[in-house]
Amino acid sequence: MYTLNNIKIIIADSYEQMSIDAAEIFLRQLSDKNDSIMGLATGGTPVGMYKELIKKYNEGTVCFSKMHAFNLDEYYPIKKTNDQSYDYFMKDNLFNHININFDNIDIPNGEADDPEKECDRYEQKIIEKGGIDFQLLGIGLNGHIGFNEPTEAFSSKTNCVNLQESTIKANARFFETEEQVPRKAISMGIKTIMMAKKIMLICSGANKADIIKKTIFGPITPMVPASVLQMHRDVTFVLDREAAVDIESFL
Ligand code: PGA
């Protein structure tokens, strides 16, 4: 493990090892505080980590019954029954396979009539629960965290965002056609994320090496939303070697 001021960096040899390391850190949080408020992420990257959590659950070594989950984001509009909704993803990849209490799950409602009201409701619910204890993040090729896309100013609270062309293209791999990718999403804001007591960002693959370098060593700018994490007091990056290739010589 490397430490740079407040940032910890773990470099794993493979995607599988990254997933195991990340699951271990996640479970350490739950063993320290079994009723932790956990912020969860979707996308290709966390799938291996979720598999590892399910494996540990099946081995009988962990319990998720007290944990509360808040999802980072959800497409808008989208039906929960759509197998590309993040509601569906989280159940399919994690919640249906562990003993989480389904009353303890919050995901932005992609079916809400009024998305702005839904953003306010969601933000309020996080505040009522006392904020996020541990936030899991992936990172987009453009540096987005949640669906906070590069822009002129950091977003603050949970907000309704227009997805950028690069994100729509990147996520098209999960849909039958690019046209089916929703053009909007509801996402926790940068301030919502930064209020989390601990943050763990996981990242794998050579195509993310450049954005990882900009995130950790570049200027803090809303044009690279993840760069704001340089200012967080307790953030851990768990990377595979390919994603770390451009930063290893600086560590
Ligand atoms: P990915 O997405 O894990 O599918 O690469 C990450 C993200 O866009 O945040």
Give the amino acid at 200. Answer: M
* Mean of pLDDT over the chain: 97
Q: What residues does 133 pair with on adjacent strands? A: none
Q: How confident is the model at residue 207 (pLDDT cuts 50, 70, 90)?
A: very high
Stretch 221-240: mean pLDDT:
98
pTM above 0.95, yes or no: yes
pLDDT computed for residue 10 by the predictor: 98
% of residues, the chain, pLDDT over 90: 97
Q: How confident is the model at residue 58 (pLDDT cuts 50, 70, 90)?
A: very high
Residue 190: is its pLDDT beyond 90? yes
Residue closest by Cα to atom 2 of ligand 1: 43
pLDDT tens digit string along 124-177? 999 999 999 999 999 999 999 999 999 999 989 999 999 999 999 999 999 999
Q: Give the model's pLDDT for residue 143.
A: 97
Q: Which atom of ligand 1 is nearest to the CA of 138?
A: 9
Whether 41 shows a pLDDT value over 90: the answer reads: yes
Residue in 40, 42, 239 to alter for ligand 1 test, most ligand atoms within 8 A of Cβ: 42
What pLDDT sits at residue 5? Answer: 86
Closest protein CA for atom 7 of ligand 1: 140
Res 115: pLDDT: 97
Residue 146 CB–ligand 1 contact under 6 Å: no
Say how many Å lie between the CA of residue 203 and the centre of ligand 1.
8
Strands 37-40 and 68-71, by their bridges, are: parallel
Ligand 1 atom nearest to 145, measured from its CA? 9
At 194-205, the pLDDT tens digits run: 999 999 999 999
Q: How far is the CA of 205 from the centre of ligand 1 (A)?
A: 11
Q: What is the pLDDT of residue 68?
A: 98
pLDDT for position 216: 98
* Residue at 148: amino acid letter: N
**Binding site membership of 43 for ligand 1 (Cβ less than 6 Å):** yes
Q: What is the pLDDT of residue 98?
A: 98
Find the 31 Cα to ligand 1 centroid distance in Å.
27
In the prediction, which pLDDT does 222 show? 97
